[in-house]
């Protein structure tokens, strides 16, 4: 995406400093529904509400910074994905985006399955009552203990990531007298992000077994020979924040080719393919994600077309959206602390959180939006950079955005679309206390992950 400077609107005919932004929205008080959770509104007093509760009340009760998660929106998105893919496909929510016991219960109630990639995620899922057969276990370096536990509790599938793991899982399952359902994760030479994808012949990443050089075919050969394994299919995950189906098209074609080779060599038609996750969401008004039914239709068409061409029955499809389900359902609420105007450049707005509650801007140069939510304002837009309180100049939450020029300490501002990869990647940097996640639904707010306390910090520090 372009990061070059460009003139942005009528404000003193300014050319803004280098950064990525379009002109400020015509009215900064208007909330773009694309980036906000479904029940977010601004009420007649100018205060933003979620689930019918004013953010000022939420801040008073739960403090800031805090993540507020719109439960109705989360459930609606689960249902939209499940309905779009229908009974002949499986939707696995990628737990790494955000996982808590409440979330697991919602997933269970809405009929979704769950991807985990660590013992900790597996524990959370099982503790909250997710049936093991609805859990898929991922990871490029699962420990022997993790594999043993996954097999023992009977997870629905383990996604095998390497040649070593094929043998390890087979051995562990066999020694328990079990036959574990598995998929093999292949890398198809497609890396997709946002509006583009790169097709490469050579894989340079830690995950999966390359299709190239017959490696994946060899993995299938080995897995089919081992008694401890029931090979149910092939898995491919091509990227993140993807808006364009073209990468999935190439990926599906290559996976189906492998299925055809497997049939020709072994006389076996593997019944499932998993196309992974990575579907994009709107972080700013410029992003235009597709709806689940459009994605489902496109993926079903691609797979059935490729299978027909290869003379294969269409396998059962699964997908693994994480961000696309939870991302848009939450926002982070901050209180404005210090404000530092830099004449002719930008205004730094410091909030009471930062890179410890949202590392994505520092880590991936991610883009976010921000709005003043405790009141409306008719002041001019000012170019801001929202920064945290950490001892680190890279501690940026929103790199470039506009807020009203009368912004003042004590105002509440909110960053939308922070449901995915924010709390789950939060840290204790500077011994900060990780914020709570509060679920809001129909006039009720309840903590689902509580705020850390200084006691929590000291408990780990054994002196």
Binding residues for ligand PLP, rule: CB under 6 A, are: 94, 96-97, 115, 138, 237, 240, 276-279, 320-324, 420
104 close to 131: Cβ distance less than 8 angstroms: no
List the one residue out of 100, 163, 59 whose CA is nearest residue 373: 59
Beta carbons of 260 and 313 less than 8 angstroms apart: no
Cβ neighbours, 10 Å, residue 4: 7
360 is in an annotated binding site: yes
Q: Is 52 exposed, middle or buried (0-12, 13-18, 19+ CB in 10 A)?
A: middle
Closer Cβ to ligand PLP, 64 or 240, answer by number? 240
Nearer to ligand PLP, 295 or 440 (CB): 295
323 appears as a binding residue in the annotation: yes
Cα–Cα distance for residue pair 253/250, rounded to 1 Å: 5
Residue number, 328 or 404, with CB nearest to ligand PLP: 328
Query: Closer CB to ligand PLP, residue 150 or residue 324?
Result: 324
Element (H, E) at 399: strand 396-404
Q: Is 452 annotated as a binding residue?
A: no
Catalytically annotated residue among 78, 117, 307, 391:
391
Is position 16 annotated in a ligand binding site? no
Residue 271, marked binder: no
Closest separation between CB of residue 275 and ligand PLP, Å? Answer: 9
Residue 437 pairs in a beta bridge with 67, 449
Nearest approach, Cβ of 403 to ligand PLP (angstroms)?
28
Minimum gap (Å) between residue 96 Cβ and ligand PLP: 6
Report whether 3 belongs to an annotated binding site: no
Asked if 422 and 52 count as a contact pair (C-beta separation under 8 A), the reply is no
For residue 340, count CB atoms less than 10 angstroms from its CB and return exposed for 0-12, middle for 13-18, buried for 19 or more: exposed
Residue 133 or 364: the one with the smaller Cβ distance to ligand PLP is: 364
Distance between CA 179 and CA 446 in Å, rounded? 42
User: Whose Cβ is closer to ligand PLP: residue 193's or residue 346's?
Assistant: 193
Q: Which residues on neighbouring strands pair with residue 186, listed in sequence order?
A: 209
Beta carbon of residue 160, minimum distance to ligand PLP (angstroms, whole number): 12
Least distance in angstroms from the C-beta of 421 to ligand PLP: 7
Three state DSSP letters for 315-369: CEEEECCCHHHHHHHEEEEEEEEEEEEECCCEEEEEECCCCCCCCHHHHHCCCCC
Through-space distance between the first and last CA atoms of the chain, rounded to whole angstroms:
48
Q: Which residues are 350's β-sheet partners? A: 387
- Tell me whether residue 283 is annotated as binding: no
Least distance in Å: CB of 323 to ligand PLP?
4
Question: Is 307 assigned a catalytic role?
Answer: no
Q: Any idea which residue has 């959206």 for tokens?
A: 321
Binding residues: 278, 320-323, 360, 364, 392, 421
Binding residues for pyridoxal 5'-phosphate: 278, 320-323, 421
Residues with catalytic function? 391
Binding residues for substrate: 323, 360, 364, 392, 421
């Amino acid at each position: 995406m372009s990061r070059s400077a460009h003139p942005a609107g009528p404000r003193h005919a300014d050319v803004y400093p280098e950064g990525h932004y379009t002109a400020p929205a015509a009215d900064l008080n208007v909330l773009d529904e694309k980036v906000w959770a479904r029940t977010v509104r601004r009420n007649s007093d100018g205060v933003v509400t979620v689930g019918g509760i004013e953010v000022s009340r939420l801040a008073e009760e739960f403090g800031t910074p805090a993540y507020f998660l719109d439960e109705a929106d989360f459930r609606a998105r689960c249902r939209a994905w499940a309905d779009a893919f229908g009974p002949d496909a499986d939707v696995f929510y990628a737990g790494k985006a955000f996982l808590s016991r409440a979330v697991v219960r919602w997933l269970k109630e809405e009929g979704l399955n769950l991807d985990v990639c660590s013992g900790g995620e597996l524990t959370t899922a099982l503790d909250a009552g997710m049936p093991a057969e609805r859990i898929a276990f991922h990871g490029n370096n699962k420990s022997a203990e993790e594999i043993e536990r996954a097999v023992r509790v009977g997870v629905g599938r383990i996604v095998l990531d390497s040649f070593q793991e094929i043998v390890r899982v087979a051995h562990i399952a066999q020694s328990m007298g079990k036959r574990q359902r598995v998929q093999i994760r292949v890398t198809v030479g497609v890396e997709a992000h946002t509006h583009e994808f790169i097709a490469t012949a050579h894989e340079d990443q830690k995950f999966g077994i390359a299709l190239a050089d017959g490696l994946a075919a060899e993995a299938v050969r080995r897995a089919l020979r081992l008694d401890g394994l029931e090979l149910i299919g092939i898995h491919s995950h091509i990227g993140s924040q993807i808006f364009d189906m073209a990468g999935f098209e190439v990926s599906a074609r290559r996976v189906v080719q492998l299925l055809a080779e497997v049939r020709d060599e072994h006389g076996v038609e593997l019944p499932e393919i998993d196309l992974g996750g990575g579907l994009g969401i709107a972080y700013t008004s410029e992003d235009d994600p597709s709806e689940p039914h459009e994605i489902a239709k496109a993926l079903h068409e691609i797979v059935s077309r490729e299978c027909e061409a290869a003379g294969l029955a269409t396998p059962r499809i699964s997908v693994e959206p994480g961000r696309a389900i939870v991302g848009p359902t939450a926002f982070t609420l901050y209180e404005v602390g210090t404000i530092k105007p830099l004449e002719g450049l930008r205004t730094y707005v410091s909030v009471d959180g930062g890179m410890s509650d949202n590392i994505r801007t520092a880590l991936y140069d991610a883009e976010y939006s921000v709005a003043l939510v405790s009141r409306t304002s008719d002041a001019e837009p000012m170019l801001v950079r929202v920064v945290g309180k950490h001892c680190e100049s890279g501690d940026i939450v929103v790199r470039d955005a506009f807020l009203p020029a009368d912004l003042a300490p004590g105002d509440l501002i909110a960053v939308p679309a922070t449901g995915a990869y924010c709390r789950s990647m939060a840290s204790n940097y500077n011994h900060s206390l990780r914020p709570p996640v509060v679920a809001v639904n129909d006039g009720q707010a309840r903590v689902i992950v509580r705020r850390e306390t200084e006691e929590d910090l000291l408990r780990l520090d054994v002196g």
